[in-house]
Amino acid sequence: MHLMYFTEQPMSAYNEAAGRDFGATALMFSNKHFDPVAGSRLYNEYLEHYRLAESVGFDGIMLNEHHNAPFCMQAKCNVFASILAATTKRVKIVLLGNPLPLADNPVRLAEELAMIDMVSCGRLVSGFVRGGGQEQLATGVNPAYNRERFEEAHDLIVKTWTQPGPFRWEGTHYQHRVVNPWAVPLQKPHPRVWIPGVLSKETIIWAAQQRYPYIALSTEIEATKKIWEQYDKVANECGYAGGPEYRGYLQRCHIAETDEKAMANARQFMWMQGEFTGLAHPVWSSPSGYFSPSYRQAFVEYAVGRRSNPRGAAFEDQLQNGQILAGTPKTVIPRIRKLLEETRPSIMGFWAADGFVSHADTRSCIKLLGEEVLPAVREIGKELGLWSPFEANAPTGRKFLDPAVPAGV
């Protein structure tokens, strides 16, 4: 198994009441509520947590980015990836990921990622995402072309990584006279690409067509099984068998010395009113053209208040269905076993704390995860045959069937 540590990097030092009064904590919720003094402290605490996660035995650190919202103060995952490339030694740096449609110059992204891969000595996993609905508005990018831009930017980046320049790119959304960045990735054929997601069927199908692992983000067990069903069907059509090495799962998991304390801290996973992207504005979160056409009816009804947000389940329900795990190592390990038995992922992300959980409690959680939970999970993984893409030497992707390895090794 590949076991990753994750935090949303919550900007917990903001005025929650102001967010509730405004009715949304995204896009146009004023950044006058951002406190850079607290921001400076929190960024450094998060860095400390990442380094601790490496020292207690995690295999990877998962990073993401979001914009204009307090639920995640990381505005550019490549910035933290660069810091971790230089300040960690062993962990994979797993970006889930760079929001491709938001980029106007994917070649620049390809260069940045190549630099991170070289500085980290080949520890980069470069996931890609579409970006949230409101982030299309936050960055002025046309939501109606989100998927086109995602796919074209991906194709351009992989070509930039794998084909010697110079070459010319005349695409629909990107045109480059000369593609010939000096920096190229250390890993050959190219760094692994993993694709995280929650909802869109189109993304699952695309990931399976590319032969990239799909990372289900905090989905319910039954929904996750449906994702794998869809993935495996496409994999079969593409001439390979899906399975654990193509499956990742991120779940919220808080560990403490007592069940009571763990439960109290786990309630902080609901600090954003139960939705991990914060108090959503129904229009901004789903601009026209961004969502899958098969959900059009649901989204238009949500946009005018005729339907509640399908992602806003209660804490008790999320505990019940395994979307939130909380307790001591002893109480949580059997619940993780159930998740693994039911959904069979080989990549597992532990989203350890959120909201206002203290620095000390987060540290304690990371230590307990590393010292007591991860060893048990590894044993379960072996018993269930959940071999990660690294252990299974899985192909880098559809186009390159060799596993990614650092050049010169």
- Which residues of the chain form contacts with other proteins (CB under 8 A)? 28, 137, 140, 142-145, 282-284, 287-289, 296-297, 299-301, 303-304, 306
What is the Cα–Cα distance from 159 to 211, expressed in whole angstroms? 16
Q: Which tokens is 407 given?
A: 């050049």
Q: At what angle do helices 77-87 and 106-119 cross, to 10 degrees?
A: 20
Min CB(17)–other proteins separation in Å? 24
- Residues 6 or more apart whose CB falls under 8 angstroms from that of 131 comprise 99, 100, 101, 102, 139, 141, 146
- Residues 6 or more apart whose CB falls under 8 angstroms from that of 374 comprise 3, 56, 57, 58
What is the Cα–Cα distance from 144 to 137, expressed in whole angstroms? 11
Min CB(292)–other proteins separation in Å? 12
Q: What is the DSSP string of 300-317?
A: HHHHTTSS--TT---HHH
Q: Which is nearer to other proteins, 301 or 342 (CB)?
A: 301
What stretches of 88-211 show up as alpha helix (H) in DSSP? Answer: 106-119, 133-138, 146-162, 201-210
CB atoms within 10 A of CB 38: 14
Min CB(104)–other proteins separation in Å? 11
Left, alpha or beta for 274 (phi > 0: left; psi -120 to 50: alpha)? left
Q: Which is nearer to other proteins, 5 or 299 (CB)?
A: 299
Q: Which is nearer to other proteins, 239 or 293 (CB)?
A: 293
Q: Which is nearer to other proteins, 89 or 296 (CB)?
A: 296
Q: What is the DSSP string of 278-299?
A: -S--TTTTS-TTTS-GGGHHHH
What is the Cα–Cα distance from 299 to 292, expressed in whole angstroms? 9
Q: Which is nearer to other proteins, 144 or 401 (CB)?
A: 144
Q: Which is nearer to other proteins, 304 or 409 (CB)?
A: 304
Which amino acid is it at 150? F
Min CB(130)–other proteins separation in Å? 15
Q: Which is nearer to other proteins, 104 or 229 (CB)?
A: 104
Q: Which tokens is 218 given?
A: 């905090």
Q: Which is nearer to other proteins, 142 or 209 (CB)?
A: 142
Min CB(301)–other proteins separation in Å? 6
Q: Which is nearer to other proteins, 27 or 348 (CB)?
A: 27
Nearest to 103 by CA among 54, 152, 62: 152
Min CB(281)–other proteins separation in Å? 9
Q: What is the DSSP string of 369-391?
A: IIIIIHHHHHHHHHHHT---TTT
CA angle at 402 for the pair 400 and 406, rounded to the nearest 5°? 105
Q: Which is nearer to other proteins, 212 or 284 (CB)?
A: 284
The DSSP element (H or E) to which 249 belongs, if any, is: strand 247-255
Min CB(277)–other proteins separation in Å? 18
Min CB(261)–other proteins separation in Å? 42
Min CB(175)–other proteins separation in Å? 14
CB of 291 closer than 8 Å to CB of 349: no
Min CB(300)–other proteins separation in Å? 4
